[in-house]
Amino acid sequence: MSGYPAAYLGWQARDVLRGPGLVAAIISGFFAVLVWKLPGAALEAGGATLLAGYLQQVGWPLVLVATGEIVRTDRVEGYYRFYFARPVRPALFYLVRWLLGFALVLAAVASTGLAVLARTGESGLDPGLVGQLALTYLLLGGTVFFLSTAGTSGPRDWLAALLIHVFQNTVADLLGRGVDLWAALRWLHAVLPPMHRLGAGLDAADALHAGLYGAGLVAATLLLLERRPLGGGARD
Amino acid sequence: MITLDGLGKTYRSPLRRRAVEALTGVTLAIPDGEVLGIAGPNGAGKSTLISLLLGFLDPSAGRVAIDGRAPRAWVRARGAGYLPELVALPGRWRAADALARAAVLSGMPGRERARRVAAAIERLGLEEHAGKQVRQLSKGTLQRLGLAQALLADHALLILDEPTHGLDPLWTQRFRDVVREERRPGRVIVVASHNLDELERVADRVAILHRGRLERVAEPGAGPTGGWRRLRLAAPHPALAIAFPGAEPVGSGGIEVRVRGEAAELSAALRVLLEAGAVVEAWYPERSRLEAAFREAVGEG
């Protein structure tokens, strides 16, 4: 891959494991213990239901942990000067890092699947669940990635994405109950990343909307990294 | 060859309400093989110029090109050795790992990496710190690590921003040797520093920036250099030629000369002069040509 030395993949994977990997391990470990301690009656629903419930609760925080501060920290702390005075393309460098985040989320969910398998006899890790996880990563992780790249001022990227997540789900819930909201709120709800469409009952239209939106965000992020300089000021 | 043509950079606040002009109309050509110094007071635009040279910033006006290409494209294709003014590396990295990462990112073949890293550690005296985390390093050691990563690969462009910042006098002296060793045909070395003495010793030319403008380009090699002192008498005295036989007269009248020598030797000569009854009006270190140019450029001449 031109512009990204493949030999650096090991170093980036190490950084992911030592940073967000630790948090993901704690979350997965906690859930594994919970599964282990569940009473027998709670296991009757089966592994797939258990794991789906886990993803509903823990999937999006895992994505935030895996993608948070990818670009922002390097720009704020000035580490980008170390990386990009060398023959390295920022778009490729950060795309690899972002994809490693997905590998981390998959590994965390798979390890929880193992705990579920040990307890219920089925892992619950079916293609549909992995697809939903990928879609969540694409949209929510893509939002964090974009926010991380777009600016260094304002709230942290993962916090801003979390606020959007909460806003979208709250507004969707209110609209679902027939509450009449301000036009500005409805407009914001329509243009912000459709995170409310990732919940239970996800259909093909939801998946297409979320997928296209997420892919657009990732593409916009890569374009920004390719075209826009990383420095914000002389000593930034 | 680096060319700057009417280069300007203006920082604007997000809503464009405030604008700070950091560089204005800088035009300069830096030929291959040259060591260019950049001097200027704080806020003169030195770091902005360096960020523009590396493509970390886009110019607001004018143009900068390295071998005819935009800096970002050039650096992404070939890479540069770069020591930033503030060495910023993640605190949990170990010093040797930072160099190993730098070697990988610089595109070095696998077999060469370990050799280059070991050589850089030895060259910058980092042996006992190689296993330490960056956060455990003293300021001077961190600066040496920054230098080591900048010098690791043999890039055709080497940019050192305040390279002796935080270094002790011994390493400051060694730095001069390092620049001499790094100099080669086809390579451009840019050294930005507050330290005029340092620039005088390492640079072929020094670009003096003041308030974002290139005020002048001085050639430290030409004309008086450090080490000279001036002696001015109240009136001409025949003992002057006896005490300081190698003195160079300054102006006419025979009351002021330039002298150079070891401190003990100069003290003995002065004693001879005073014992002969001469009245010394002034005795001071001569300002270097660069220092004089700098003071003139920033309005303190």
Average pLDDT, chain B: 90
If we measure between CA atoms, which residue out of B204, B152, B199 comes closest to residue B172? B199
CB B4 within 8 Å of CB B56: no
Which pLDDT score is estimated for B224?
46
Using an 8 Å CB-CB cutoff, list chain A residues near B57: 229, 231, 234
Domain at B173, CATH number: 3.40.50.300
Averaged pLDDT for residues A212-230: 95
Same domain assignment for residues B183 and B281: no
Domain boundary among B199, B218, B237: B218
Quick check: B252 pLDDT over 80?
no
Which pLDDT score is estimated for B173?
87
How many Cα atoms sit within 13 Å of A60 on the Cβ side?
Answer: 21
CB B184 within 8 Å of CB B33: yes
> Could you tell me if residue B146 is inside a domain?
no
- Spatial distance between the Cα atoms of A43 and A50, rounded to a whole number of angstroms: 8
When pLDDT is cut at 50, 70 and 90, the band that residue B106 belongs to is very high
Interface residue of B12, B21, B23, B51 to substitute, partner A, most A CBs within 10 Å: B51
Averaged pLDDT for residues A178-206: 87
Q: Is A128 on the interface with B (CB under 8 A)?
A: no
Which pLDDT score is estimated for A234?
55
> Could you tell me if residue B260 is inside a domain?
yes
> Could you tell me if residue B223 is inside a domain?
no
Averaged pLDDT for residues A95-122: 89
> Could you tell me if residue B274 is inside a domain?
yes
Above pLDDT 90, what percent of chain A? 53
> Could you tell me if residue B189 is inside a domain?
yes
Average pLDDT, chain A: 88
Averaged pLDDT for residues B206-222: 88
Q: Residue B74 corresponds to which tokens in the numbers above?
A: 């050039």
> Could you tell me if residue B297 is inside a domain?
no
Phi-psi region of A74 (alpha: psi -120 to 50; beta: other; left: phi over 0): alpha
Least confident of A13-22, A227-236, B253-262: A227-236
State the smallest CA–CA distance between residue A86 and chain B in angstroms: 4
Above pLDDT 90, what percent of chain B? 66
Least confident of A72-81, A84-93, B95-104, B263-272: B263-272
Same domain assignment for residues B24 and B53: yes
> Could you tell me if residue B90 is inside a domain?
no
Question: Closest residue of B to A4, CA-based?
Answer: B105
ipTM: 0.88
State the smallest CA–CA distance between residue A24 and chain B in angstroms: 19
Which pLDDT score is estimated for B225?
46
Same domain assignment for residues B200 and B239: no
When pLDDT is cut at 50, 70 and 90, the band that residue A1 belongs to is very low
Range of the domain at B235: 229-285
Domain boundary among B218, B250, B272: B218
Averaged pLDDT for residues B262-285: 89
CA dihedral B116, B118, B123, B124 (to 10 degrees): 110
> Could you tell me if residue B196 is inside a domain?
yes
pLDDT digits (tens, 9 = 90+) for B57-72: 999 999 999 999 999 9
